């Protein structure tokens, strides 16, 4: 079934009670028991299961091509649920350019629980293989990465992880299942910040983990969701299901717009460097062509100078919004080093741009004015 069709139908059916085409929102926190004490209708308490949440989880599972998904109240909650499966003495290998929230969690909190983290260039096969010691239980990678838009060969990374007996977890937020299918390339689990492209309208906070196969890893994460109470609320699940109906169409537009804007920036004299895998001069261009269907809607670029010059350029924008987050209909732009804190890898001159659904010529006009105004 094609992505456009899955976006509309996956995980959902016509409501048998009313004939409603749109899935109803079930806000009840508790569900009636049968006379004999059982729960033949499948639901007990909303922390353990909710009809809307289950529909959302089925939808993501079908889109990613996995076996089961588990939904959370934020992307970081989803990431933490996966990472807490590690035990004292375990080691995790992480791609060197990783979302700062995950980086901070692994650097500032996990060492107190006896978990070792190695940040490596996963594309350096020798360094990556050396980092995968016998204690390595998990490899975590983002591709495209945040904020340097690095591209990692998922298939090659999976081979080395599995050779070491480790699980490969792929953060797929920037690409979405429309642009990239990590399971087809060997990943064992896929993590999304649903807040971004999946919901697509900057009005939902949520996360999700999808598993390639059933088993102990999945069971542990599912149990943690229920016991810790880390569950997505029904309205957020419903809003995301609505947003996913246009995901395939939106991602095509995001990709097309981002490529046009990246090409403009790449030729501008005030821009020192552009990070976008759709450009032929990007070091990951060939790998991106191999494992992605399009190059995504995210790019970063550096202006000449440093923090002062970057903020001055941002202050001159009139259309593109200066705001955190990404993946919505609005183009959003941000100076990353000032957000990410002491563990950031972003240069002071780096600006990240989430290309929205505005006409690319209008965004280019705004960027051109901001770059050229003294």
Measuring CA to CA, which residue among 250, 247, 259 is closest to residue 288? Answer: 259
- Cβ atoms of 328 and 246 within 8 Å: the answer is no
In the Cβ-directed half-sphere of 145, how many Cα atoms lie within 13 Å?
Answer: 26
Which of 244, 267, 289 marks a domain boundary? Answer: 244
Measuring CA to CA, which residue among 10, 39, 24 is closest to residue 234? Answer: 24
- Residue 106 and residue 137 in one domain: yes
Give CA angle at 161 (155, 163), nearest 5°.
100
Chain-centre distance for alpha carbon 45? 29
- Residue 176 and residue 230 in one domain: yes
- Residue 116 and residue 211 in one domain: yes
Which of 191, 214, 244 marks a domain boundary? Answer: 244
- Residue 272 and residue 366 in one domain: yes
Query: Which CATH number belongs to the domain containing residue 206 in this structure?
Result: 3.40.640.10
Q: According to the model, what pLDDT value does residue 360 have? A: 98
In the Cβ-directed half-sphere of 351, how many Cα atoms lie within 13 Å?
Answer: 35
- Cβ atoms of 351 and 333 within 8 Å: the answer is yes
Query: Which CATH number belongs to the domain containing residue 270 in this structure?
Result: 3.90.1150.10
Report residue 100: phi and psi, to 5°: -60, -30
The domain in which residue 90 lies consists of 3-244
Q: According to the model, what pLDDT value does residue 37 have? A: 87
Which of 213, 244, 275 marks a domain boundary? Answer: 244
Q: According to the model, what pLDDT value does residue 46 have? A: 85
In the Cβ-directed half-sphere of 35, how many Cα atoms lie within 13 Å?
Answer: 0
- How far apart are alpha carbons 52 and 301 in whole angstroms? 40
- Residue 237 and residue 300 in one domain: no
- Residue 331 and residue 365 in one domain: yes
- Cβ atoms of 89 and 139 within 8 Å: the answer is no
- Residue 205 and residue 329 in one domain: no
Measuring CA to CA, which residue among 330, 373, 331 is closest to residue 352? Answer: 331
- Residue 182 and residue 37 in one domain: yes
Residues of the chain with pLDDT under 50: 374
Q: According to the model, what pLDDT value does residue 227 have? A: 93
- Residue 95 and residue 228 in one domain: yes
Q: According to the model, what pLDDT value does residue 374 have? A: 47
- How far apart are alpha carbons 242 and 52 in whole angstroms? 11
- Residue 10 and residue 152 in one domain: yes
- How far apart are alpha carbons 319 and 297 in whole angstroms? 17
User: What is the total count of domains within the chain?
Assistant: 2
- Cβ atoms of 241 and 11 within 8 Å: the answer is yes
Report residue 357: phi and psi, to 5°: -105, 10
Q: According to the model, what pLDDT value does residue 190 have? A: 98
**How many CB atoms within 10 Å of residue 167?**
21
- Residue 18 and residue 148 in one domain: yes
For residues 285-324, one letter each, b for 16 or more C-beta atoms within 10 angstroms of the residue's C-beta and e for the rest, the string is bebbeebbebbbbbbbbbbeeeeeebeebbeebeebbeee
- How far apart are alpha carbons 326 and 316 in whole angstroms? 20
- Residue 120 and residue 202 in one domain: yes
Tell me the C-alpha to C-alpha distance, in Å, between residue 336 and each of 46, 51, 345. Answer: 37, 38, 9
């Amino acid at each position: 079934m094609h992505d456009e069709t899955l976006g509309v139908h996956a995980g959902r059916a016509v409501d048998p009670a009313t004939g409603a085409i749109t899935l109803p929102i079930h806000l009840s926190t508790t569900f009636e028991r049968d006379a004999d004490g059982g729960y033949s209708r499948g639901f007990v308490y909303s922390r353990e299961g909710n009809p809307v949440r289950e529909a959302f989880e089925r939808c993501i599972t079908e889109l990613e091509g996995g076996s089961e998904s588990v939904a959370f109240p934020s992307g970081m909650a989803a990431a933490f649920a996966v990472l807490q499966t590690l035990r004292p003495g375990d080691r995790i290998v992480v791609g060197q350019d990783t979302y700062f929230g995950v980086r901070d969690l692994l650097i500032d909190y996990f060492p107190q629980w006896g978990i070792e983290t190695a940040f490596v260039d996963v594309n350096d096969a020798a360094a990556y293989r050396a980092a995968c010691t016998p204690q390595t239980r998990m490899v975590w990678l983002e591709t495209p990465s945040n904020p340097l838009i690095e591209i990692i060969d998922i298939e090659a990374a999976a081979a080395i992880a599995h050779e070491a007996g480790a699980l490969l977890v792929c953060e797929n937020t920037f690409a979405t299942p429309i642009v990239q299918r990590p399971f087809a390339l060997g990943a064992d689990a896929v993590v999304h910040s649903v807040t971004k492209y999946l919901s697509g309208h900057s009005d939902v906070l949520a996360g999700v983990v999808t598993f390639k196969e059933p088993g102990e890893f999945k069971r542990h994460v599912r149990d943690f969701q229920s016991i810790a109470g880390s569950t997505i609320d029904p309205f957020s699940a419903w809003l995301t299901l609505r947003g996913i109906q246009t995901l395939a169409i939106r991602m095509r537009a995001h990709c097309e717009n981002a490529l046009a804007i990246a090409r403009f920036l790449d030729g501008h004299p005030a821009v020192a460097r552009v990070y976008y895998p759709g450009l032929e001069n990007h070091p990951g261009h060939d790998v991106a062509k191999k494992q992605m269907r399009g190059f995504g809607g995210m790019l970063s670029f550096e202006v000449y100078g440093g923090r002062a010059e970057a903020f001055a350029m941002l202050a001159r924008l009139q259309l593109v919004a200066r705001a955190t987050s990404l993946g919505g209909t609005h183009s959003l732009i941000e100076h990353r080093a000032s957000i990410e804190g002491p563990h950031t890898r972003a240069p002071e001159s780096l600006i990240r741009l989430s290309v929205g659904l505005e006409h690319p010529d209008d965004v280019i006009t705004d960027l051109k004015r901001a770059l050229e105004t003294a």
